Structure 1
Amino acid sequence: MLHIDLWKRALIWLVCAAGIVLSMPNAFYTRVEGHNDAIAAIEAGNDSPELQAQAAQWPSWLPTDLVNLGLDLRGGAHLLAEVQVSDVYATRMEALWPDVRDALRPERDAVGGVRRVQSAPGELRVRIGNPDGMARAVEVVRGLARPIQTLSGVGANDIEVGTEGDIIIVTLSEAEQQATDDRTVRQALEIIRRRIDAVGTREPTIQRQGADRILIQVPGIGSATELKDIIGTTAQLTFNPVVSRGTDPDARAGTGNKLVPSLDEEGTYYTIESNPVVTGEELTDAQPAFDQNGRPAVNFRFNTSGARKFGDYTRDNIGQPFAIVLDDEVISAPVIQSHIPGGSGIITGRFTVEESTNLAVLLRAGALPAGMTFLEERTIGPELGQDSIDAGKIATAVAFGAVLIFMALSYGLFGIFANIALILNIALLFGLLSLLGGTLTLPGIAGIVLTVGMAVDANVLIFERIREELKTARGPARAIELGYEKALSAILDANITTFITAIILFVMGSGPVRGFAITLGLGIVTSVFTAIFVTRLLVVMWFERRRPKTIEV
Structure 2
Amino acid sequence: MRYPAWKYLLILVVLVVSTLYALPSLYPDEPAVQISGAKAGSVIDDTVIQKAEQLLKSNNIQSHNNSFTQNAALLRLDSSEAQLKAKDILREGLGENYVVALNLAPTTPEWLQKIGARPMKLGLDLRGGVHFLLEVDMDKAIAQRMETSAADLRREFRENKIKFNSLSLNNNAITVQFANNEDRAAAMDQLRRNGNKYTQQALATENGASLRLTYTDTTKQEIQSYALDQNLTTLRNRINELGVAEALVQTQGSNRIVVELPGVQDTAEAKRILGRTANLEFRLVSDLNDQYIDPYSGKYNGQPLPPGTEVFAYESLDSGRELLLNRNRILTGERVQNASSGFGQDSGTAEVNITLDNAGGKLMSDATRSAVGKRMAVLFIENKQRISYVEDPETGAQTEVRTPYTESVVINAANIQAVLGSQFRITGLDSPQEAAELALMLRAGALAAPMYFVEERVIGPSLGQENIDKGVLSTQIGFILVAIWMVVFFRLFGVIANFALVFNLAMILTVMSWIGASLTLPGIAGIVITIGMAVDANVLICERIREEIKWGASPKQAIVAGYDRAYNTIFDSNLTTFLVAFILFAIGTGPIKGFAVTLMIGIVCSMFTAITVTRAIVQIIYGKKRNLKKLSI
Pairing 1:92–2:91 present: no
On the 8 A contact 1:25/1:64 being kept in 2, the answer is yes
Provide the TM-score with structure 2 as the length reference: 0.55
1:332, 1:85 → 2: CA distance?
19
Map of 1:23 onto structure 2: 22
Map of 1:187 onto structure 2: 234
Cα shift readout 1:71-124 (whole Å, capped 9, x = no counterpart): 22222343566757795354122233145347647999x6454555889x7x86
Pairing 1:434–2:513 present: yes
Q: 1:449 to 1:303 in 2, by over 3 A?
A: closer
Q: 1:185 to 1:63 in 2, by over 3 A?
A: closer
On the 8 A contact 1:117/1:125 being kept in 2, the answer is yes
Pairing 1:380–2:443 present: no
Pairing 1:530–2:609 present: yes
> Which consecutive unaligned segments of at least 5 residues does structure 2 have?
37-64, 78-105, 203-210, 284-303, 322-350, 355-363, 386-402, 416-433
SS of residue in 1 equivalent to 2:259: strand
Q: 1:204 to 1:500 in 2, by over 3 A?
A: closer
Write the mapping of 1:501-520 to structure 2, written as runs, cut at 5 A.
Answer: 501-520=580-599
Select 2:182's aligned residue among 113, 132, 154. 132
Identity of aligned residues (%): 33
Q: 1:227 to 1:30 in 2, by over 3 A?
A: closer
Select 1:541's aligned residue among 615, 620, 624. 620
Q: 1:205 to 1:131 in 2, by over 3 A?
A: farther
Map of 2:125 onto structure 1: 72
2:30, 2:553 → 1: CA distance?
54
Cα shift readout 1:414-443 (whole Å, capped 9, x = no counterpart): 111111111111111111111111111122
On the 8 A contact 1:77/1:221 being kept in 2, the answer is yes
Pairing 1:9–2:27 present: no
Select 2:68's aligned residue among 17, 30, 41. 41
State the shift of 1:409 in Å.
0.6
> Which consecutive unaligned segments of at least 5 residues does structure 1 have?
146-158, 241-270, 293-300, 315-323, 334-339, 344-359
Q: What is the identity, as a one-letter code, of the residue corresponding to 1:133?
A: D
Provide the TM-score with structure 1 as the length reference: 0.62
1:239, 1:273 → 2: CA distance?
20
Map of 1:456 onto structure 2: 535
Q: 1:431 to 1:33 in 2, by over 3 A?
A: farther
Q: What is the identity, as a one-letter code, of the residue corresponding to 2:544?
A: R
Larger deviation: 485-494 or 427-436? 485-494
Write the mapping of 1:268-307 to structure 2, written as runs, cut at 5 A.
Answer: 277=310
On the 8 A contact 2:518/2:594 being kept in 1, the answer is yes
Q: What is the identity, as a one-letter code, of the residue corresponding to 2:9?
A: A
Write the mapping of 1:292-371 to structure 2, written as runs, cut at 5 A.
Answer: 368-371=447-450
Q: 1:68 to 1:83 in 2, by over 3 A?
A: same
Q: 1:414 to 1:235 in 2, by over 3 A?
A: closer
Cα shift readout 1:476-515 (whole Å, capped 9, x = no counterpart): 1222222112211221122112212222222222222222
Pairing 1:218–2:256 present: no
Q: What is the identity, as a one-letter code, of the residue corresponding to 1:187?
A: T
RMSD across aligned C-alpha pairs, in angstroms? 5.9
On the 8 A contact 1:131/1:165 being kept in 2, the answer is no
On the 8 A contact 2:376/2:413 being kept in 1, the answer is no
On the 8 A contact 2:534/2:610 being kept in 1, the answer is yes
1:453, 1:460 → 2: CA distance?
10
Cα shift readout 1:197-254 (whole Å, capped 9, x = no counterpart): 6xxxx94754554899855213577899x998995676889999xxxxxxxxxxxxxx
Q: 1:4 to 1:62 in 2, by over 3 A?
A: same
State the shift of 1:447 in Å.
2.0
More strand by share: 2
State the shift of 1:45 in Å.
7.7
Larger deviation: 501-510 or 411-420? 501-510
Select 2:496's aligned residue among 392, 411, 417. 417
More helix by share: 1
Q: What is the identity, as a one-letter code, of the residue corresponding to 2:552?
A: A
SS of residue in 1 equivalent to 2:260: strand
On the 8 A contact 2:247/2:262 being kept in 1, the answer is no
2:407, 2:582 → 1: CA distance?
54
On the 8 A contact 1:160/1:170 being kept in 2, the answer is no
On the 8 A contact 2:124/2:462 being kept in 1, the answer is no
Write the mapping of 1:444-483 to structure 2, written as runs, cut at 5 A.
Answer: 444-483=523-562
- The total of aligned residue pairs comes to 452
